[in-house]
Amino acid sequence: MSGFSFVFTKEQLATLLNNNPETEEWFEAMAEILPKYDITTVERVAGFVAQCAHESNNFRSLEENLNYSEDALNSVFGRYFGPGERDASEYARNPEKIANYVYMDEYRSARGALGNTEPGDGWRFRGRGLKQLTGRNNYAAFGETVGMSAEEAVEYVKTKPGALESACWFWDKANCNKFADEKDIVGMSKRINGGTIGLEDRKRRWEQALNVLRNGSASKHTTVKVGSRGEAVEEVQKALGITADGIFGSATESAVKKWQKNNGLSADGIVGPKTAARLLNQ
């Protein structure tokens, strides 16, 4: 996949997202957007996918669920409901009313943090995207980087590219590439959610992603040559810039020999470990 330092495939992503039915659309968006934020190495992509998949239920939950019961409101938003505060029963199962109370700056301890000051801002700028972008200030800051107003950013984040790019923006802002490079899953998780909530699942996803992305390319597969078929052959053909039909025939052999000769390797037309390592990571 152009722009990445390794062979990144749709099949790998499908594995990491537990066969999300919209994997192809997510993959296309990632192929375009991740390189813009320098999320291009195995460690960086693994960290990004692991964290976002945890936060969004494998890229399936793209909007905050505020359909809380009375008991849930008292538990999750205890500072806003209960003795001396508002009656949760009057807000239960009313997401818009909840958002326009708990997410409005005038009712929050950190006044001005979200920037929700206009009527309806709490609901308008509720959490969306793979990393739950929340609050007028955050939508405005993200929107500025993509040439949009806060209101326009809301509409963009409702789309798959926007849901993805808003998470990339947060990832970049939190300097998460550094933590991925250092293989610091704990530090990465703290930057993503401010603590270690869900750390065991994040670790599990991180290890799985590293394994899938490292071992899913032809450089880790058995040698491919005339007569070989399948994904490994297709990856080689894509790297050579020829028709990628997954069938290693005479045309592919000729292209391999030419590439090997031009790159100082023995021109035997066989893609073994040495050829694969250079061809697929050039």
Do 55 and 94 share a domain, yes or no? no
**220, pLDDT greater than 50:** no
pLDDT tens column, 137-171: 999 999 999 999 999 999 999 999 999 999 999 99
Q: What pLDDT band is residue 100 in, cutting at 50, 70 and 90? A: very high
Do 122 and 16 share a domain, yes or no? no
Q: What pLDDT band is residue 216 in, cutting at 50, 70 and 90? A: low
Q: Is residue 23 part of a domain?
A: yes
Q: Is residue 152 part of a domain?
A: no
Q: Is residue 29 part of a domain?
A: yes
Question: What does the pLDDT read at residue 231?
Answer: 73
Q: Is residue 3 part of a domain?
A: no
**CA distance linking residue 98 with residue 142, whole number of Å:** 24
Question: What does the pLDDT read at residue 278?
Answer: 82
**218, pLDDT greater than 60:** no
pTM given for the model: 0.75
Ranges of H-type helices in the chain? 10-16, 23-33, 42-56, 70-76, 95-102, 121-124, 136-145, 150-157, 160-173, 176-181, 185-193, 199-215, 231-240, 250-262, 273-279
User: Which residue type sits at 68?
Assistant: Y
**2, pLDDT greater than 80:** no
What is the residue whose two structure tokens read 């032809």?
A: 218
Residue ending a domain, among 175, 194, 216, is 216
Q: Is residue 141 part of a domain?
A: no
Question: What does the pLDDT read at residue 221?
Answer: 47
Q: Is residue 135 part of a domain?
A: no
Question: What does the pLDDT read at residue 279?
Answer: 86
Do 58 and 167 share a domain, yes or no? yes
What is the residue whose two structure tokens read 């958002």?
A: 99
Do 45 and 172 share a domain, yes or no? yes
**CA distance linking residue 62 with residue 59, whole number of Å:** 7
Give me the domain span that covers residue 202: 10-62+157-216
3-class DSSP state of 81: strand
Residue ending a domain, among 188, 216, 244, is 216
**CA distance linking residue 109 with residue 214, whole number of Å:** 45
Radius of gyration of the CA atoms of the chain, in A = 23
Of the listed ranges 95-104, 228-237, 261-270, the least confidently predicted one is: 228-237
Do 41 and 171 share a domain, yes or no? yes
Do 97 and 120 share a domain, yes or no? yes
Close Cβ partners of 133 (under 8 Å, ≥ 6 residues apart): 127, 139, 142, 153, 157, 166, 167, 170
Could you tell me if residue 134 is left (phi over 0), alpha (psi between -120 and 50 degrees) or otherwise beta? Answer: beta
Do 52 and 177 share a domain, yes or no? yes
**CA distance linking residue 107 with residue 110, whole number of Å:** 9
pLDDT tens column, 239-257: 899 999 989 999 999 999 9
Do 168 and 50 share a domain, yes or no? yes
**3, pLDDT greater than 90:** no
Kindly report the CATH number assigned to the domain that includes residue 251: 1.10.101.10
Close Cβ partners of 162 (under 8 Å, ≥ 6 residues apart): 129, 153, 155, 156
Do 122 and 78 share a domain, yes or no? yes
Q: Is residue 172 part of a domain?
A: yes
Work out the percent of the chain whose per-residue pLDDT is above 90. 76
Q: How far is CA 32 from CA 40, 182, 207, in A?
A: 11, 25, 25
Compute the average pLDDT of residues 77-97: 95
Do 49 and 161 share a domain, yes or no? yes
Residue ending a domain, among 191, 216, 241, is 216
Mean confidence (pLDDT) of the chain: 92
Work out the percent of the chain whose per-residue pLDDT is above 70. 96
Q: What pLDDT band is residue 103 in, cutting at 50, 70 and 90? A: very high
Q: Is residue 151 part of a domain?
A: no
Of the listed ranges 38-47, 102-111, 112-121, 215-224, the least confidently predicted one is: 215-224
Q: What pLDDT band is residue 219 in, cutting at 50, 70 and 90? A: very low
What is the residue whose two structure tokens read 């040559």?
A: 225
Question: What does the pLDDT read at residue 281?
Answer: 63
Do 91 and 230 share a domain, yes or no? no
Do 19 and 41 share a domain, yes or no? yes
Domain count, the chain: 3
How far from the centroid of its chain's Cα atoms is residue 106's Cα?
A: 33
Give the Cβ contact number of residue 267 at 10 Å.
15
